[in-house]
Amino acid sequence: MERIERHASFGGWQDVYQHQSDILKCAMNFSIYLPPHAKDEKLPVIYWLSGLTCNEQNFITKAGAQKYASENKVIIVAPDTSPRGDNIADDAAYDLGQGAGFYLNATQAPWSEHYQMYDYIVHELRALIDENFPSKRVQSIMGHSAGGHGALVIGLSNPDIYQSISAFSPIVAPSQVPWGQKAFKAYLGDDQLLWRRYDAVELIKSGAARKPILVDQGSADSFLEEQLKPELLSDACCEMNYPVTLNMREGYDHSYYFIASFIEAHIQFHSAELNR
């Protein structure tokens, strides 16, 4: 593991590391913000999953999260969104292949050799953070768009690992929208039962363990009606009596201007749960 960037920020350090992933079979970057802390102090961790076309840089340069991570004394880890490299399967479209791993374990060629982002996030990256940084070994997860999908699915599927879940503009029902259907068919084939394992609405309908969920969605989001459909999440939670906070934010779009406007509330939400 090699540190490739370091920036002082709000009394702590915004770092970027590169390591060789055994699960993804390629070099991977991740960013990590370390707030100011005592020498032997252990801190809770929040994982951030970014959306389509993003990498480990988008969140740390645009969200303005470091100030609030410093104030709440939480580590924030933001990995890349997919395996990358000349020998890694890719697609010309922005919503498939490199930059669009969708946080699942692919079963179909040519994707299955490298596209195992679910296992990378849940197992390999988490172990790397816990072993090499001042982690308290308690964590929550959040994300944006396709990363919001990833945060919901990973959090709901691993309630023993993640204390709370939040998302900005998430793809809540990928089985029912074009982005998700395209990715699922390519990565997972035609097995609809397998699709459900990576669909937050289906997981809630199947009786997922209850964890606190916070979702923010902009009313002026250009992807709202076709790709995001937050009402499907709201309906599923209502049907299953699953507690969720869904905030519709008037006038906000899909951008990091939206995320930066409400990231403080998300960090405070997770910090409260992580420190219970």
DSSP 177-220: SHHHHHHHHHHHTT-HHHHHTT-HHHHHHTTPPP--EEEEEETT
From the list 145, 164, 166, 271, the catalytic residue is 145
Separation of alpha carbons 214 and 137, rounded Å: 22
Please give the DSSP secondary-structure letter assigned to residue 80: -
> Is there a catalytic annotation at residue 221?
yes
DSSP 108-165: STTTTTT-BHHHIIIIIIHHHHHHHS-EEEEEEEEEETHHHHHHHHHHHH-TTTEEEE
> Is there a catalytic annotation at residue 271?
no
From the list 15, 95, 221, 270, the catalytic residue is 221
> Is there a catalytic annotation at residue 254?
yes
From the list 114, 144, 149, 254, the catalytic residue is 254
Please give the DSSP secondary-structure letter assigned to residue 271: H
- Give residue for tokens 């699960």: 23
Residues in the chain: 276
- Give residue for tokens 């000349």: 86
Two structure tokens written together for 112: 């299955």
Catalytic residue numbers? 145, 221, 254
